[in-house]
Amino acid sequence: MRKARQQSDSLLSLVLGPMERVRQFCLDCQGGDESFVAGCEDSGCALFPERLCVRQNTIAHMAGNGEQRVCLRAIRRFCLRCAGGRREVRTCGGDSRCFLWEYRFGVMPKTYARVSRRLHFSDAGAGRKQSA
């Protein structure tokens, strides 16, 4: 069963962006019932304003209005609150359980990988300059 969940999650990562992931997370939280997601009363949740985004807008409209960025920031706030802090978000082991895990840094996964490589490369270069 767990292997099937991991396979379905890997397929989801190919298809679902951050807004769809928020929607899936909210559905999971509310037991899979769309009417419960729409009627959610947890206004303190960082994802509360974003829970219906996918249904209310078209993809072109969301990308044009920067709503994807707003959604990524909401995911970041949620993860910070869930994990307890920046360090804990970085070391979060929820990759097999959480729909939001790939977006926990508040940016697209490819963006994070690119920036991370650049920072690690510059850190390595700074270390070589100091030792020389």
- Closest listed residue to residue 56, CA positions, set 76, 70, 42, 73: 70
**Which residue type occupies 24?**
Q
Q: Tens digit of pLDDT for each residue in 56-79?
A: 544 544 455 577 888 999 999 999
Residue 79 lies in a domain: yes
Residue 113 lies in a domain: no
Q: What does pLDDT average to over the chain?
A: 78
The count of structural domains within the chain is 1
Rounded to the nearest angstrom, the gap between the alpha carbon of residue 68 and the centroid of all alpha carbons in its chain is: 11
Spans of the chain, pLDDT less than 70? 1-15, 54-65, 120-132
Domain that holds residue 38: 2-106
Residue 22 lies in a domain: yes
Helix, strand or coil for residue 51?
A: coil
Q: How far apart are CA 54 and CA 129, in angstroms?
A: 49
